[in-house]
Amino acid sequence: MSEFLRRDIPLLITAFLTLFMLAEYFIDLPILGKLGGDIRSWGVVISAFVLPIGIVTLVRNNVTIIRRREKNWPYYLWSLIIMFTMIITGLIGDLGKHPVFIWLYNNIFTHLSSTMYSILAFFITTASARAFRARNVDAALVLISGVFVILTVAPIGEVIWPGIPVIGNWFLDIPNMAGMRGIIIGVGLGVLALGIRTILGYEKGIVMGEKER
């Protein structure tokens, strides 16, 4: 593929759309608003078209692994069975209304998702246990502020001592907020720099594996 098609056309489209969306944000013109809405809809449509690519990739990769009987191949087979069961039952009759699909969704998918989310409680505990080892001054500060914040959000904190929520909220509202806002300002500036590099074609991530210049 020529460099013009591979690199220049995507960059031109990116630059034009970036400038257009900026104009739509700042300038009060109905035509810009309408076109901006249309462009956002194109993004949604393109994303919807890409989903089948995901399905095809998943099927192709899993079939390759199953055919070669690679390590853990039954997991890949099971993944395909589950995916096609959900797709087929979801497409039968009214979209997503088939009783089998609804049963699978309500009784398996929802509960598995809740289970995965609840695992976070254990992960937070183990990660916190590592963080709360006061090996140096920084870790000791994390430990102290962490204990106050935990006791602030837990009802027992105020029962132990009414000053705990006051100190915990101070940690949250002053040092924590200041640090986070500093990071957010830095992120904003970083995104601006990334945007300019992208429009000028110096950010490789946007031109998909471009060869070394």
| Residue 1 DSSP label | -
Q: Rule CB under 8 A: say whether 163 interacts with another protein.
A: no
Contact 204, 3 (CB under 8 A): no
| Separation CA 15–CA 201 (nearest Å) | 9
Q: Rule CB under 8 A: say whether 47 interacts with another protein.
A: yes
Q: Rule CB under 8 A: say whether 64 interacts with another protein.
A: yes
Stretch in the footprint of another protein (CB under 8 A) among 97-105, 110-118, 156-164, 166-174: 110-118
* Sign of the four-CA dihedral 94, 95, 96, 100: positive
Q: Which residue in the set 8, 37, 60, 88 belongs to the binding site for another protein (CB under 8 A)?
A: 60
Q: Is residue 25 classed as helix, strand or coil in its secondary structure?
A: helix
| Separation CA 161–CA 72 (nearest Å) | 54
| Separation CA 32–CA 30 (nearest Å) | 5
Torsion of CA 185, 190, 191, 192, to 10 degrees: 90
Q: Which residue in the set 34, 37, 75, 93 belongs to the binding site for another protein (CB under 8 A)?
A: 75
Q: Rule CB under 8 A: say whether 113 interacts with another protein.
A: yes
Q: Rule CB under 8 A: say whether 4 interacts with another protein.
A: no
Instruction: Name the residues that contact another protein, by CB under 8 A.
Output: 22, 25-29, 40, 43-44, 46-47, 50-51, 53-55, 57-58, 60-61, 64-65, 71-72, 75, 79, 112-113, 116-117, 119-120, 123-124, 126-127, 130-131, 180, 183-187, 189-198, 200, 202-206, 208-212
